[in-house]
Structure 1
């Protein structure tokens, strides 16, 4: 018999650390953004105004499924408060999912059955960034048809990626001729100006001073470009430093740097987890913009990946920035599951919301 248990206290969440990653690695949802280190650190920095609502599926004494959920508050129509269930890590995590090791259909059915019994706690369920190909997604879609609530599944993000097959020359020659010429031009421009460039990587002994420099470079790089970054907040910077420190202990973090005349021109902070490399956070020194240091560094990293037998995919993660599609035509979509509660308050609020937007469209 499978029972569902809710975890609502942070000390109980912390106790799950001893088994969380083992269950994750047995599941088909195994990304670095579902590791215990990532989610617990996220909660420490961003969970103050939210409520833990982790669901465990237990078969006897064994945990066979985890729904890493939380309850937060949002406002619609600028002033009407609603309570929303979402995945822990929402907003910063590029991927999120249920962690299920067996009895997938039964576990997901029981998760939603439990959520419906607790509908007094929420007005909306919004589970976003479930990766295309997740076996949980198909099961959830079938389950939604049984609920009798308003619900839908829609794509919300594209995540370009590159398959690493060991043949760098074949891959590189498949890129646009003009794009490859532009890369050669940038290298020639550096040489012509008498500059020396050097690539390096750092995986250990990452201190706060170094990370602060990366944060400054990242923020300076996006200044005035109508971009938003979680590193603009104190909480975001605290999370950044803490997760790098935790991942460093696991051997999951790599910081690649391009220097021009011994000055950092660009950096790319990524994660090696399983057989994938996640290209997560980047920055550049605006002084060297004319040499496209971010582009040159990414080319170097990709080439290195093609000669690393342990990497099978280079994931550029969420976002449809033009530069990503110069490196690949491959992409996968992330999906969002939405369910609206049928409580009287919820129905009134969402009908008012729909009415308001119908007026705006006229």
Structure 2
């Protein structure tokens, strides 16, 4: 059978703003992540940071012979001058601003390809991306299978490209099909105590904890609580003004049933907040904050996660509670939740001869020295 024919077009920022419906259709028919690769997430990111950081949109859409959208490659271009006078043009995947500026973290980065059209659409999109004038490409937090697909697509036509691993991180997602009680029984005794059993201790000593859903009208106050708890625990806000504006835009663009922002209240006072969003068959835990000095025997953040995971076991449409990447303050606590480990990689594709030579030479250096040189040169 002959492969389906597709055409690829570079889309403007105006096109991007009008693409919500078509974007959702192709996303739902793909294997791409339903939250981080969604139009509300990526368009809101572009609205907040695109112009502010001087980025050039490089968004490509693939269309079939009936002019239906069947694939998306959301990129942008950024130029910078290194401290050594080296001017570098980088293609970045939308949603992260690696070595440019702190924004928010976008995980599960991938192309958005309609099922059944993987190879032909991937190759068509990456061929157009490769025709752009860039020296390096940065893709943050993608899964290993996705990395393999990109590498094959970018090497088409005999192009010389060096693949440079830059970071590796791990997340955990908890399968929530079956019985919550059975899942609790598989946990270690101390983890079960923190996630669930301390509810009774609090009830006896302090009163009833009340789990409350946050409405859209309460979102601003919710983020104020989140930042307040983080200032107390970490000495700084969880989200700066731009990040708060971003999350408010995302929340406003989601369906109401997708919002799963919750608080734990004791005697009318908010003592813990959990920022979750539902998308596809997963509930994503984006952030958490809690009163750290609440009780030395109680890990409020972990206890709040227990309530959220219990809700997921009760919801037929939710198959995973995704704790995403990142470690706790003192340990990788997520690893104790009997979940599936997810590995994320951040990679750099270098095709400028000088850059390929630099990274090839760096491979012989100790890791610490290599990182120091890259940090100094902003490579």
8 Å contact kept, 2:164–2:350: no
Alignment partners' CA distance in 2, 1:183 and 1:92: 26
8 Å contact kept, 1:77–1:353: no
Q: Match of 1:179?
A: 191
Alignment partners' CA distance in 1, 2:265 and 2:368: 55
> Secondary structure, in 3 states, of the residue corresponding to 2:216?
coil
Alignment partners' CA distance in 2, 1:157 and 1:324: 13
> Secondary structure, in 3 states, of the residue corresponding to 2:177?
coil
8 Å contact kept, 1:159–1:318: yes
Q: TM-score, normalised by structure 1?
A: 0.85
Q: Match of 2:350?
A: 340
1:109 to 123, 126, 130: 123
Q: Match of 1:43?
A: 46
Deviations 1:312-358 (A, max 9, x none): 111101113322112134211123343112255x4577579779989
8 Å contact kept, 2:92–2:137: yes
Q: Match of 1:169?
A: 181
Report deviation, 1:109.
1.9
Q: Match of 2:95?
A: 89
Alignment partners' CA distance in 2, 1:183 and 1:64: 43
Deviations 1:137-171 (A, max 9, x none): 44324335543221256772212010112211111
2:15 to 9, 12, 20: 12
Query: Is 1:22 matched with 2:35?
Result: no
Structure 1 residues 16, 339: CA separation in 2 closer, same or farther (over 3 Å shift)? same
Alignment partners' CA distance in 1, 2:309 and 2:368: 49
Query: Is 1:201 matched with 2:213?
Result: yes
Q: Match of 1:272?
A: 278
Structure 1 residues 279, 65: CA separation in 2 closer, same or farther (over 3 Å shift)? same
Q: TM-score, normalised by structure 2?
A: 0.81
Alignment partners' CA distance in 2, 1:140 and 1:360: 29
Correspondence 1:1-362 to 2 at 5 A: 1-7=5-11, 9-48=12-51, 49-60=54-65, 61-73=67-79, 80-90=86-96, 91-101=104-114, 102-118=116-132, 121-132=133-144, 136-146=146-156, 147-151=159-163, 156-182=168-194, 186-202=198-214, 204-207=215-218, 209-224=220-235, 229=238, 231=239, 233-247=240-254, 249-288=255-294, 290=296, 291-321=298-328, 322-342=332-352, 346=355, 360=369
Task: Choose 165-174 or 237-246, whichever is displaced more.
Answer: 237-246
Structure 1 residues 84, 250: CA separation in 2 closer, same or farther (over 3 Å shift)? farther
Alignment partners' CA distance in 2, 1:228 and 1:77: 30
RMSD: 3.0
Structure 1 residues 201, 137: CA separation in 2 closer, same or farther (over 3 Å shift)? same
8 Å contact kept, 2:75–2:94: yes
Q: Which runs of 5+ in 1 are unaligned?
A: none
> Secondary structure, in 3 states, of the residue corresponding to 1:206?
helix
Q: Which runs of 5+ in 2 are unaligned?
A: 97-103, 373-379
Aligned length: 350
